[in-house]
Amino acid sequence: MENKVKQRIQAFQEENKDRARLLIKCPDQPGIVAAVTSFLYENGANIVESSQYSANPEGGNFFIRMEFDCPGLQEKRAQLEKSFESISDRFQMEYEFRYVHQIKKTAIFLSKEPHCLLELLWEWQSGDLMMDIVCVISNHEESRETVEALNIPFYYIPANKDIRKQVEEEQLRILKEHNVELIILARYMQILTPEFVAHYPNKIINIHHSFLPAFIGARPYERAYQRGVKLIGATSHYVTNDLDEGPIIEQDIERVNHRDRVEDLKKIGRSIERSVLARAVKWHLEDRIIVDGNKTIVF
């Protein structure tokens, strides 16, 4: 399986060596799209996908995601980025070129429950999540065999609030060693400190087992049952220093009723959690998300 995944990644990289994505956020004003499309045309690029959104045409921000092919991109990229500076200065842009062949090095954190990890591994093996899983870090041993069977390094690091600083120092060392660009919290039941989060702004994706902002924090299914809710859900979001209040990427729900006990809610919820997290990760990997304050624009 490992060789098949590597071969699939290599084929994807070769197929997309001349493809890039341009993400832009700037004050809304006339001429932005014309300037960007003309720039790409003049540099020999062919736009294959373009999405845009205006938060408020009168005084708000404007967002663009453009995906394009450009023959000889690897040789052109430095000059392309340099030449774009004049346009970005003119329109006061925050922007980034993302190169599709650069597969994101990803670490997965989890605790005991494996369902989100298993979904991610399945999507990764099938080629639906194009990422390089460089390690899995857990404060429990239960998933070691599953992970190591795929030749992915597994790190067991016991964690609790009393040793959080030492734990995060070790985690950061491992992440740096593997050049990690994205962290997925696949039901990792530990709170990350502001110091840890600061190393990966908008690059830590969490799955919370409730439809936020309802039932923030621990034991949401128990609290949902006690409240007698008729809908339960899950929310995937970027991690910030505010617990479970970071920019929301994706959510979903399912109807329940008075016959469903806490364990029933958890079983239904696990299915929602898996799909919501996988979609959020996929959109991040495909550079479809622009963060605007505590909101996301998802193209």
Of 244, 252, 287, 292, catalytic = 244
Please say if 244 is a catalytic residue: yes
Residue 94 parent element (H or E): strand 94-99
Strand (E) or helix (H) holding 197? helix 194-197
Handedness of CA 134, 138, 144, 146 (dihedral sign): negative
The CB-side HSE value for 280 (13 A sphere, CA atoms) comes to: 32
Burial of 280 (0-12, 13-18, 19+ CB in 10 A): buried
Q: Are strands 61-69 and 19-27 parallel, antiparallel or unpaired?
A: antiparallel
Structure tokens at 267: 């079983």
> Measured between alpha carbons, how far is residue 213 from residues 122, 140, 237 in Å?
29, 28, 11
Q: What is the DSSP letter of 193?
A: P
Amino acid at 246: G
Catalytic residues: 244
